[in-house]
């Protein structure tokens, strides 16, 4: 299921709650909210599934804000005072608080249970860290990266309450940002390095390989900035500072500039001259492997490609060499993806079926066969392999000429199935 669709029911329920929690007579603008029970800084604020807000740290205590009553209530005591930590809402409703500072960089982590309003110890990080980031991944794990100027990263698994190594960044950094992209990768941008100072460098974490790779650098080095994922898949990086990291008093140069990052690789088409099969991939490493013969003989690039990018993850399926089909299938239709997953679950592996592999890239589904402005239609043709008794194969391309060529050979034109950025 696409990432956004997975959380859509929760997002809609939160929107309904917030709309009804604010009196209809409330005037636009700012109004006073109830004061915290304890003054604090360097804390975190996390929206819970029940609509309340958990404020933790900046002290050893935690508090819950109820927007319906405009009141604060005690939410238990953390095991230790901590500031500049992270707090991540897990799919099970618990909140993971990790790292921070209390005179030393903390490796400890704690879990808040909103059902019982209690705190329990979580598995400890391998390395204490402050000024790090924590990102909830689509698989439910939490990626903690950098902090305290270190380059290491770790993955927290709620199922086992343990941490494992998640590769190493090329540059140790703190006060950076980390943004989950629609393709499942995580963009880490900017920050501060003890050796290099203000950073313009960015890096990408790929959960599929548990590895980091360099990305395009920011035009302006910055730390303490913000990074926001936009609906079109771009990341808006705004503000921040260029700091001397001199703390008495702190000297810094605030920034007004902003910039956009776009990590949507092209979708490359291949053709197998032996099988009369087509294949597409947005993974540059996979494409390079095919070029090197890793996928077997006969594969060549057709020269056709289209841009990835949009609001929906594309599901990738594969049959099998035996019993088949020895081919891949792609869909940006959430309903079609869910149906094929259900069919996979109910069909024995000894029979032909499509097996879900991954969310391969992102695109925009058409509306009644039409694409929105700023996009181009991507078509799909089917070789009618099921009726012909051969392996099913589909050609997915933005080239109308390419579709017409295979249709002239008996393939079935299935119309517009995706809308790619122009």
Domain C-terminal end among 75, 102, 130: 130
Cα 62–chain centre separation: 28
Give the residue carrying structure tokens 């008093």: 249
pLDDT digits (tens, 9 = 90+) for 373-403: 989 999 999 999 888 888 899 999 999 999 9
Tokens matching residue 252: 């810094």
Helix (H) or strand (E) segment spanning residue 3: helix 3-21
Domain-embedded: residue 146 = no
Percent of the chain with pLDDT over 70: 92
Check residue 232 and give its pLDDT.
Answer: 74
- Segments of the chain scoring below 70 in pLDDT: 1-26, 244-252
Q: Residue 125: CA atoms inside 13 Å, Cβ hemisphere, count?
A: 30
Check residue 419 and give its pLDDT.
Answer: 95
CB neighbour list of residue 159: distance below 8 Å, 6 or more residues apart: 140
Check residue 245 and give its pLDDT.
Answer: 56
**Do 251 and 277 lie in a common domain?**
no
Domain-embedded: residue 28 = no
pLDDT digits (tens, 9 = 90+) for 57-102: 999 999 999 999 999 999 999 999 999 999 999 999 999 999 999 9
Check residue 26 and give its pLDDT.
Answer: 63
Give the number of domains in the chain. Answer: 3
**Do 334 and 220 lie in a common domain?**
no
Distance CA 89, CA 220 (A): 31
- With beta carbons less than 8 A apart as the criterion, state whether 202 and 217 touch: yes
Helix H, strand E, coil C: the string for 193-246 is ECCCEECCCEEEEECCCCEEEEECCCCCCCECCEEEECCCCCEEEECCEEEEEE
Check residue 253 and give its pLDDT.
Answer: 74
Give the Cα-Cα-Cα angle 321, 318, 290 (nearest 5 degrees).
Answer: 80
Q: Which long-range contacts (CB under 8 A, 24 or more apart) does 241-247 make?
A: 242/198, 243/192, 243/198, 245/192, 245/197
**Do 62 and 126 lie in a common domain?**
yes
**Do 183 and 47 lie in a common domain?**
no
Domain-embedded: residue 143 = no
Quote the domain boundaries for residue 87. Answer: 42-130
Closest C-alpha to 3, from 224, 311, 282, 237:
311
3-state DSSP call for residue 152?
strand
- With beta carbons less than 8 A apart as the criterion, state whether 236 and 228 touch: yes
**Do 50 and 65 lie in a common domain?**
yes
Check residue 21 and give its pLDDT.
Answer: 46
Sign of torsion over alpha carbons 252, 254, 257, 263: positive
Check residue 221 and give its pLDDT.
Answer: 94
**Do 282 and 356 lie in a common domain?**
yes
């Amino acid at each position: 299921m696409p990432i956004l669709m997975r959380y859509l029911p929760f997002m809609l329920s939160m929107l309904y709650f917030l709309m009804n929690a604010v009196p209809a007579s409330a005037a636009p603008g700012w109004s006073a909210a109830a004061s915290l029970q304890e003054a604090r800084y360097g804390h975190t604020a996390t929206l819970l599934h029940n609509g309340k807000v958990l404020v933790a740290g900046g002290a050893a205590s935690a508090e819950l804000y109820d927007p319906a009553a405009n009141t604060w209530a005690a939410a238990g005591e953390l095991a230790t005072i901590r500031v500049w930590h992270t707090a991540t809402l897990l799919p099970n409703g618990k909140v993971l608080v990790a790292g921070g500072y209390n005179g030393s960089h903390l490796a400890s982590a704690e879990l808040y249970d909103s059902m019982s309003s209690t705190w329990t110890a979580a598995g400890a990080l391998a390395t204490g860290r402050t000024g790090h980031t924590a990102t909830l991944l689509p698989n439910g794990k939490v990626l903690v990266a950098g902090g305290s100027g270190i380059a290491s990263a770790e993955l927290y698994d709620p199922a086992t309450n343990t941490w494992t190594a998640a590769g190493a960044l090329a540059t140790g950094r703190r006060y950076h940002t980390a943004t989950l992209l629609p393709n499942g990768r995580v963009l880490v941008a900017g920050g501060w390095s003890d050796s290099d100072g203000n950073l313009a460098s960015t890096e990408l974490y790929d959960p599929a390989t548990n590895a980091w790779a360099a990305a395009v650098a920011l035009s302006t080095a910055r730390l303490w900035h913000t990074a926001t994922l936009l609906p079109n898949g771009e990341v808006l990086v705004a503000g921040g500072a260029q700091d001397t990291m001199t703390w008495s008093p702190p000297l810094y140069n605030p920034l007004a500039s902003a910039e956009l990052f776009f990590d949507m690789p092209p979708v490359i088409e291949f053709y197998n001259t032996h099988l009369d099969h087509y294949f597409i991939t947005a993974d540059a490493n996979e494409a390079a492997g095919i070029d090197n013969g890793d996928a077997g003989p006969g594969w060549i690039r057709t020269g056709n490609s289209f841009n990835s990018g949009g609001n929906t993850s594309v599901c990738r399926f594969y049959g099998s060499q035996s019993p088949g089909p020895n081919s891949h299938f792609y869909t940006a239709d959430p309903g079609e993806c869910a149906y094929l997953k259900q069919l996979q679950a109910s069909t024995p592996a000894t029979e032909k079926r499509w097996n879900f592999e991954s969310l391969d890239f992102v695109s925009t589904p058409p509306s009644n066969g039409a694409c929105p402005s700023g996009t181009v239609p991507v078509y799909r043709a089917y070789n009618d392999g099921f009726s012909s008794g051969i392996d099913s194969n589909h050609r997915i391309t933005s080239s109308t000429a390419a579709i017409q060529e295979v249709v002239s050979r008996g393939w079935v034109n299935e119309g517009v199935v995706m809308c790619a950025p122009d």
